[in-house]
Structure 1
Amino acid sequence: MKTAAGFLYSVLDLSPILKGETAADSFRHSLKLAQQVEQWGYHRFWLAEHHNIPGVASAATSVVIGHIAGGTSSIRVGSGGIMLPNHAPLVIAEQFGTLESLYPGRIDLGLGRAPGGDQLTARALRRGLGSSGDTFPDDVRELQSYLGPTEPGQKVRAVPGQGLNVPLYLLGSSTFSAHLAAEMGLPFAFASHFAPEMLYQALDIYRSHFRPSAALAQPHVMVGVNVFAADTDEEATRLFSSLQQVFLNIIRGWPRELQPPVDDIDRLWNPVEESQVSRMTRCSAVGGPDSLRAQIQSLLDDTEADELIVTAHIYDQQARLRSFEIAAEVFKSLQGTTPSFTPNDSFNQ
C-alpha cells in the first residue's frame, strides 16, 4: 500500500527475443536482469504470457517464473499476467501452488482475461473448453477456491495449492477488470505501458468502488510504464526506438524479434503510423536522470499510483541494465524510503 514515504517499483519482463538471438539467450538475459534489480531494490519481477509472437519468449510463463525465482533470493516473482481464459483454473492453481511450495512467500499470481495472442492462436490453446473473457469472473473465483482453505465437502482440490493463498492481482487495459478487482477487493494493475487510453477512468472506478476483503484492506493501484533511461536524453531517445519499432511492426501486422535502435525513427514510419505508435506508447518515461525524474513525478502526481511496474524493450543488454539502475536511483530519490505492501495476514503473502 502507498504510504507517506512513497511508492513501490517493480519490473515487468517479456523475456524479449533479440534479432539474431534465441529464446535461450532471452532467458539468460531475464535472469541477469532479475538478479540485478533485486540488488537495486525493485519489489517484484513479473513475466507476461504471450503466444505465437516472435519477439516474446515467456509463453510458458509458470516455467520461466520458476527459473527466475530459483536464481534469485528475495525479490517477489510472478505473472503479469497469466491469461486465465487459456487455462483451466485448477491447472493454474497447481502450477502456482507448486511455485509457492518451492519459493514460499515470494510468488504472485497476476491474472488477465485477454488471449495473449491472436484469435487463431487462442483457439489452438483452448481447444474448445469453453473459457473466454466472459467467464473470467467465475474462473477467478474458482481459482480462489483452489488456493484458499478446503471447504467442507470440497471434492476437487489443488495439490499443491490448497490453503497456500497465493496472492492474486487483476490486470486490465479497460474498465472491466477495474470493476472486478474493486468488487473482489484485489490489487489492480493497469496495462498503460501499451494501452493508456482508459487509465484514469479505470483507476477512478477501481478506487471509488473498492470493497475491502480478506485479501486487501484498501485499494492498491499498479501502473505500467515504459522506462528508457540513459546518461543523456539523446541516448535514451535512441534506445526508445526499439520499442517504437515493436509497435510499428504490430500495426503493420508483422511482429518480429526485438530490433536494434535506430538514429532516425522518422525514416521508418509515415505520419499515420507515427501517431498510432505515439498513442500506444504515451505512458513512457524517456531520458537522462533529470528528465526521467520529472516525467516519473508527473506520472505519480497524475495517477497517485501505489506501485509502478516498469518495462523496457532495450536491445543492448548492458544499456538495459543501466536503464533499470538509473531508474532505481530516480525512484529512490522521489520516495525517500521504500514502503512495504503486504495484503492482509489471511492472504499469506
Structure 2
Amino acid sequence: MKLSVLDQSPVLIGQTPADAFQQTTELAKHVDQLGYHRYWVSEHHSTQSLAGSAPEVLVAHLAANTQNIRVGTGGVLLPHYSSYKVAEAFRVLETLYPGRIDLGIGRAPGGMPNVNYALNDGSYPNVEKYPEQVKELMAYVHGHDPYSLDVRATPQTETTPPIWMLGSSGTSARLAADLGASYSFAHFINGFGGTRAMDRYSNHFTPSIQQEEPQGNVSVFVVCAETEERAEYLASSLDVSILKIEQGAKRDGFPSPEEASQYSYSIFEKERVRENRQRMIVGNPEQVKERIEHLARAYNVNEIIVNTIINPFEERLRSYELLAKAFNQ
C-alpha cells in the first residue's frame, strides 16, 4: 500500500497564511522522512482559510526542501489557464527535479463563482473546452506540436511529469479513461459513488502517449490519534469546518477542538455531520489502517492520499507519523 499526502495549506484560527506555508513546508519534510510516496498541494482562491492559491509555486518550493517524495498539484484548475503555459511551467519543474513531479489537473473554479470572472478577465471560462485542453496539455507536455505551429513546450528533457486528472464523479472518471490519463478520485469531497467512478475509469481506459494501463488513487480525510477518543476529539474541528463550508459561512480559519466543542448543532446539522463522516476516516492507528485498507479494496487501488486537517499543527504531524508506523512505512 502506498500512502501519499494532500495538503490544502489550512490556516488555523489565530494564525496567518505565512504560518500555513511554514507548516506545509515542515509537513512535507516530515512525511518525506516517513516514507510517504507523493505530496500534492491544492489550488483555492479568495479564501481566508486555505492559503494555497498558486500550487505550481508551492511545488517548486517543496521539491527544493525535500529529497525523495514526489511533489505535485492537486490540482491546477486548467480552464483558467493556457494549456501551453501550464505545460511549460511543469517542464521547468521536471527539469529541475526529474522524476519527482506530478501534474494534477481539475476543472473546478477553485472558489466562489466570482473567482471565475477574476481569473478570466471578467468572463466565465468555457469548461466545455476542458477535454480539448487536456488533450493539448498532454501533447505539449510530451513534446508534441498539436497544431503544427512549430511550437513546443520547453525545456525538453528525458523525463515527463505524468498528468493526473482529479475528479469526484463518474463524468470525470470517464474523461480520464478516454484521454488515457491517471485518475484521482476525491473521496474527501464526495463520499458516495466513488467506487463506481473508479470502475468506470478502469473498465473504459484507453492507452495514450502517457501510459498503457490505468492508474488510480483515492484521497480521503484522515484523523489518526493514539486512542479513538482522542481522534474523535481532534476531528470535531473538521466536522464544524466542513459544515460551515457547506453553509457558505465566512471563516477566518480552522478552529481548535476546544472551540469546536462549544458549537451547538441543530438536528439538521447533526445529520450533515453524520453524512460528512462518509468522507473521513477517524480512529486509532489500528482502526485507521483497517479502514484505509478497506477503502483501497473497495476502489481497487494500491494508493491512498491522506488529507489531514488538525488544530493544533503538532497533532497533524503526529497523525501522519502514527499512520506511517501502522503501515510500517
Task: Classify the TM-score, shorter chain.
Answer: over 0.9
Partner Cα distance (2:311, 2:170) in 1: 33
Q: Are the aligned partners of 1:96 and 1:161 in contact in 2 as well (CA < 8 Å)?
A: no
Of the three residues 181, 189, 207, the one matched with 1:186 is 181
Q: Are the aligned partners of 1:147 and 1:163 in contact in 2 as well (CA < 8 Å)?
A: no
More displaced 10-residue stretch of structure 1: 125-134 or 41-50: 125-134
Two-structure CA RMSD over aligned residues (Å): 2.0
Residues 66 and 281 of structure 1, relative CA distance in 2, 3 Å threshold: farther
Q: Are the aligned partners of 2:106 and 2:166 in contact in 1 as well (CA < 8 Å)?
A: yes
Deviation of 1:326 after TM superposition, in Å, equals: 0.8
Partner Cα distance (2:113, 2:246) in 1: 16
Partner Cα distance (2:85, 2:4) in 1: 27
Q: Which residue of 2 aligns with 1:108?
A: 102
Q: Which residue of 1 aligns with 2:275?
A: 279
Q: Which residue of 1 aligns with 2:322?
A: 326
Identity %, equivalent residues: 39
Where do 1:201-216 residues align within 5 Å? 201-216=196-211
Residues 15 and 185 of structure 1, relative CA distance in 2, 3 Å threshold: same
Q: Which residue of 2 aligns with 1:99?
A: 93
Q: Which residue of 1 aligns with 2:286?
A: 290
1:253-303 deviation line (CA, Å, top 9, x unaligned): 114211111387484321212222332341321111222222223222322
Report 1 or 2 for greater relative contact order, CA contacts < 8 Å, sequence distance ≥ 6.
Answer: 1
Stretches of 4+ moved more than 6 A in 1? none
Partner Cα distance (1:125, 1:140) in 2: 19
SS in 2 for 1:53: coil
Where do 1:77-156 residues align within 5 Å? 77-127=71-121, 131-151=125-145, 153-156=148-151
Deviation of 1:145 after TM superposition, in Å, equals: 2.0
Q: Are the aligned partners of 2:116 and 2:123 in contact in 1 as well (CA < 8 Å)?
A: no
SS in 2 for 1:100: helix
SS in 1 for 2:268: helix
Where do 1:338-349 residues align within 5 Å? none
Q: Which residue of 2 aligns with 1:235?
A: 230
SS in 1 for 2:73: strand
Residues 100 and 160 of structure 1, relative CA distance in 2, 3 Å threshold: same
1:36-83 deviation line (CA, Å, top 9, x unaligned): 101111100000101112110110111111111111111100001111
In the alignment, structure 1 residue 262 sits paired with structure 2 residue 258: yes
Structure 1 residue runs of 5 or longer lacking an equivalent are: 1-6, 333-337, 339-349
Deviation of 1:35 after TM superposition, in Å, equals: 0.6
Of the three residues 50, 57, 60, the one matched with 1:66 is 60
Counterpart of 1:194 in structure 2: which amino acid? Answer: I
Residues 251 and 103 of structure 1, relative CA distance in 2, 3 Å threshold: same
Residues 169 and 251 of structure 1, relative CA distance in 2, 3 Å threshold: same
Deviation of 1:164 after TM superposition, in Å, equals: 5.2
Q: Are the aligned partners of 2:237 and 2:260 in contact in 1 as well (CA < 8 Å)?
A: no
Partner Cα distance (2:33, 2:157) in 1: 32
Q: Are the aligned partners of 1:93 and 1:161 in contact in 2 as well (CA < 8 Å)?
A: no
